[in-house]
Structure 1
Amino acid sequence: MCGVDEAGRGPLAGPVYAAAVVLDPGAPVAGLRDSKALSARARESIAGAIRERALAWSVASASAAEIDALNILQATMLAMRRAVDGLGLRPALARVDGNRAPVLACAVETLVRGDALDPAISAASILAKCARDAQMDALHERFPQYRFDLHKGYPTALHLALLREHGPCPEHRRSFAPVRKLEQA
């Protein structure tokens, strides 16, 4: 069984990430829980343990352009499918956080609040969040005027103010209302 979760559905910029994780029952990882309940430092530490001890793991994404072309739900499903396909093995079951699931080559089960209830989904949540945060830090290096290192693309007051000041960059999701409104102005 693999756990599957995403990170980055709500931001105005950057890709949406997904991860799939097959945990090893013989090599437990301490501290697994919803990534949002952990500090960045704790997430990074636990992510290292997941990568070392899991039987298989994969992280994938869908770009801002794919989000704009498909919509955020379909782009999230695409990222999840890419993550499961990237495992290097075919799980018998993919347990997905939430109430929507991608079409996969294996059985799929959804679990609302699964990132807090299922250790494999928690592990996927942590890997997806760490990967997305690292990508947003890299985007900060390319576009420092947006301070992606601080808000990771979420629609905070700071991000909205900087977006109004500088206009959208290529990594902004033009299909999201706050960005679309600026483009139409």
Structure 2
Amino acid sequence: MVGVRSRPAPAGSAAVSALVAGIDEAGRGPLAGPVVVAAVVFDPSRPRINGLDDSKQLAHARREELYARIVDRALAWHVVAIEATEIDRINIYQATMLGMRRAIEAVAHVAGLARIDGNAIPPGLPCAAEAWVGGDARDRSIAAASILAKVTRDRAMLALHGEFPAYGFDGHKGYGTPAHLAALRAHGPCPQHRRSFAPVREAGARDLFAAG
């Protein structure tokens, strides 16, 4: 689940160093599915996209509309998904940092600064970086990244609902809602559940998908 588009970078290293890559994630808290990280670089010479905001503040239809505009107008964008098995292997924090680093690496050729939503900066980045708490409401490139990450993850969870309809992924998108917890108790975890998360681990005794 990786998408990338890159237009030619502005001429000169000074022009590249002045551009900002906004970075945001979706899906750190759910009990199932991937954590998704997006990076977006805008060309300041192109018209701005109206209505960019924190994806959580936008209706589904508006997010989809803005997603199409972002991927059409961005100078560069990249989306990375870290799957549940990798989250279980290295933990959700490290998985998020890994996704951020991969997303930044993909657009660093056109941006001299990564501006990350949150309070943590992944190690080993190929460019300068700064963390902005609440950045998805303060910076349009971060807001755009939040929309790409959210839309991409929601689409992935709809696809997982087709594979595992008993869990209701189309509704709660993997978050620990009462309906999701009830499904976990009834059916145990599926292969897309994060077994390192306590509610999933506790339901593991009824794991109907375990090898054996």
Q: TM-score range by the shorter chain?
A: over 0.9
* Alpha-carbon offset, residue 88 of structure 1: 7.0
Count of residues paired in the alignment: 185
Match of 1:84 among 94, 100, 104: 104
The answer to whether the aligner puts 1:173 opposite 2:194 as a matched pair is yes
Identity in percent? 58
1:93 aligns to what?
113
* Alpha-carbon offset, residue 19 of structure 1: 0.2
Structure 1 unaligned blocks of 5 or more? none
* Alpha-carbon offset, residue 184 of structure 1: 5.0
Match of 2:138 among 108, 117, 120: 117
Deviations 1:29-79 (A, max 9, x none): 111110000011100000110000010000001110111011101000111
Deviations 1:86-131 (A, max 9, x none): 3372521000000012121100100000001010000000000000
Structure number, greater radius of gyration: 2
1:11 aligns to what?
30
Cα distance in 2 between the residues matched to 1:137 and 1:57: 23
Match of 2:147 among 111, 114, 126: 126
How big is the alpha-carbon RMSD for the aligned residues of Structure 1 and Structure 2? 1.2
Residue identity opposite 1:86 in structure 2:
A
Cα distance in 2 between the residues matched to 1:116 and 1:129: 15
Which segments of structure 1 move beyond 3 Å, counting only runs of 4 or more? none
TM-score relative to the length of structure 1: 0.97
Alignment of 1:16-165 (within 5 A): 16-25=35-44, 26-87=46-107, 89-103=109-123, 104-165=125-186
Residue identity opposite 1:157 in structure 2:
P
The answer to whether the 8 Å contact 1:6/1:19 transfers is: yes
Secondary structure of the corresponding residue to residue 108 of structure 1: strand
Cα distance in 1 between the residues matched to 2:98 and 2:89: 12
Cα distance in 1 between the residues matched to 2:110 and 2:184: 42
